[in-house]
Amino acid sequence: MRSVEFSTTTTLPATPEKVFDHLADPNNHVGLSPLVVEVRDIRRDPAAVRFTAVERFAFGPLRHDNVIEVTLRLGEGEITGNVVSPGGVRVDWGYRIDAVPGGTKVVDHYRLSAPFGLLRFSMGQAKKVQVARGRELARRFAA
């Protein structure tokens, strides 16, 4: 399997604590990713949050719901996670959340691995999600 890595950076007019809390709550992931249409079965412990998410892919008039198990590991100034989707696509990601003058900088980093034939499609979808997430976070935290 081949792997690729990519990142985006978003600066928000909010405290790092508010941004961290928002990203650590699975309920806020609906709409944060344009693919996530449902979150359920949330399970919390001090170091992690686990939940089931439903990603909806549209191919013209056809739709496919991809049910995935997500784990968010909560660290000091960072949230990391990983997902293994059907087809063997694996995504490891992390949010690095740092204070900057006037707000918070969020670095959204992905490491994506996929079997031959799925890498380009998966990478394209993941990059679209990442860019949309930055825009949605900016909208949600607009001053």
pLDDT in tens, 102-143: 999 999 999 999 988 888 888 888 898 899 999 999 999 996
| Pair of tokens at residue 86 | 């059907």
pLDDT for res 106: 97
Question: Exposed, middle or buried by CB within 10 Å (0-12, 13-18, 19+), for 122?
Answer: buried
User: What tokens were used for 47?
Assistant: 């170091």
In this prediction, residue 137 carries a pLDDT of: 95
Strands of the sheet containing 62-75, edge to edge, are: 2-12, 103-114, 89-100, 78-85, 62-75, 48-59, 36-45
pTM of the model: 0.88
pLDDT of residue 143: 62
Q: E strands of 60-126, at which residues?
A: 62-75, 78-85, 89-100, 103-114
Q: How far apart, in whole angstroms, are the C-alpha atoms of residue 126 and residue 25?
A: 20
State how far the Cα of 39 lies from the Cα of 55, in Å rounded to an integer. 9
Neighbouring CB atoms inside 10 A of 126's CB total: 20
Write down the residue that tokens 């992905």 correspond to.
110
